[in-house]
Amino acid sequence: MDYAALVDVYDRLAATDSNNDKRDILAAVFADAGELLPRLVTLVRGRLSPAYNRTELGVSSNLTLEAIRRATGAPETALRDRWQGTGDLGDTAVWAVENGGQQTLFSTPLTVERVHDKLRDIATYEGAGSQDRKIDALAGLLADADANEARYVVRTALGHMRVGVGEGTVRDAIAHAFLDGSTAAITVVERAFQVTTDFRVVAKTARDEGRIGLDSLDIDLFRPVQVMLAEKTESLTAGLADAAGDGEGLCEYKYDGIRIQVHVRGNEVRLFTRRLEEVTEQFPDVVRGVREAVSAEMAVLDGELVGYTPDTVRTDDREPVPFQELSRRVKRESNIEAMAREIPAVVHLFDCLTDGETLLDRPLSERLDRLRAAFEPVDPDPGAVRAGVEHSRSVRAAATDPGPAETLYRGALDAGHEGLMIKNLDATYQPGRRVGRLLKLKPTMEPLDLVVTRATYSEGRRSEWLGRLYLGCYDPSVDSFSEVGRLSTGYTDDELAALTDRLEGLVTARDGRDVDLRPAVVVEVEYEEIQPSPEYDSGYALRFPRFLGVREDLDPTAADTLDRLTDLYRSQSATNG
């Protein structure tokens, strides 16, 4: 398939604001894709791999700019001026191809296969000279591209397509291309994606085997499942009533840690975060603890990984470390075992998704029985670089007798944790969904997870750092971010310096001391209240936002949504009114 044909699809997607039109465009493409279907279902979102395997090209905006310069001969100063003016390196590439002056005598027309496979190859380049190899490989594609092709090659390399296609659009397009497009068909496709996290598998199965094949898709070891998510409740008794009705609900500590999915087959253990990122190498202590604890030959277990201070981790009065301190371990690439001793961990397990038999459709009460049978608790031992593995602390309680839950709630807060989880014991496991049978209770308005969309350099002592950050919430209906305010407090100097280093690699345009950014960094923010505001395109502004830290475990599309912000504002207004 000529890449120009896919570029035409991108243009048609970008030209319409209608989600139904986007769906229909993609459905037609998928239906005629043939053997290219697995590539196309990821490429239409500018991705090169499934959700659980987030291939990073390691190509920054500046490296991409250099690739454009090498491919077209356009002067760097002129390129930077265009970049600053448009805020889009894809548009800059168009200008460079049309005005750079460098002609390729013997160009080879681009194909979808070549663009996809070459970009995936770039992600594998490592070691000395790898940056130059990445630039040359990307420049090679651009040298054979016409102006519009160059736009989308660059956007794909940077992972920001600007065509308004989200996961929901791809899901619906698959349902319309290969099933009947009904609500029931969409639900079947959605569930298949939730258990596989791979639209390549889902699309091919839908085409080749239909609904029966999709229904048969199941948990596969070492391919993470989307986690079940919780809604918020305002009180303990309301939460028990909502989650369990007249019966008993399960109340557990809500730990302030990293959601962790543990996959085990024999002696092989692999770990995945809530955003489906594999972190096995960063947590050798957890791997060691799981190997000792889990007796099941194969299992997928759900839990929370919590860091504790070294002096207290082996006591009954453990002191949890702040989430931001624990998150340092996620990005650690050297002296990993030393870090494991410095911030020892305990995995608090609370669900079993499979023990050789898939349990997603079984009630929580049965999954807990299977969890108890799957492992025996192991104590943490920082000296031996072994994490603890244990059950989450829990009790059963009813709305008519919340006493045991109240005691557990106070205990959780006194121990430095966030609050309680309240669960329906009859509930099935629903990957990727926020459901009323899984609730969370926290004592104050919980912080928001928001994406940094643009920034301004600070003044005075911090003038070299990007200290004024504009924050966006995610709008899944258009796969974009709506701004909700500006953040400028709460950082230490070290945090701000590290944050600036990350953000400068994401710059898409500069205007004096202001920069636009590729939306890739999620930050946790506390605030006093949400106010209506015409200044930001969300219609809201956070009052006195304060930086709490970077959410290393969250993808930008997992940030808090515009709908959630609206719900919080209404809830706040009702309370204050």
**Residues that are catalytic:** 254
Q: Per 3-state DSSP, what percentage of the chain is helix, strand, and coil (rounded to 5)?
A: 40, 25, 35
Rounded Cα distance between 112 and 97, Å, is: 20
What secondary structure, in 3-state letters, does 267-304 show? Answer: CEEEEEECCCCECCCCCHHHHHHHHHHECCCEEEEEEE
- Which residues are CB-neighbours of 169 under 8 A, at least 6 positions away? 19, 22, 23, 26, 479
Local structure of residue 227 (DSSP, 8 states): P
Local structure of residue 146 (DSSP, 8 states): -
Continuous segment of H or E residues that includes residue 523: strand 522-526
The DSSP-derived string for 11-72 is: HHHHH---HHHHHHHHHHHHHT-GGGHHHHHHHTTT-SS-TTS-------HHHHHHHHHHHH
Spell out where 321-425 has E strands.
345-354, 388-391, 394-398, 419-424
Continuous segment of H or E residues that includes residue 456: strand 448-457
Rounded Cα distance between 144 and 76, Å, is: 20
Among 178, 224, 169, CA closest to 198: 224
Rounded Cα distance between 322 and 550, Å, is: 12
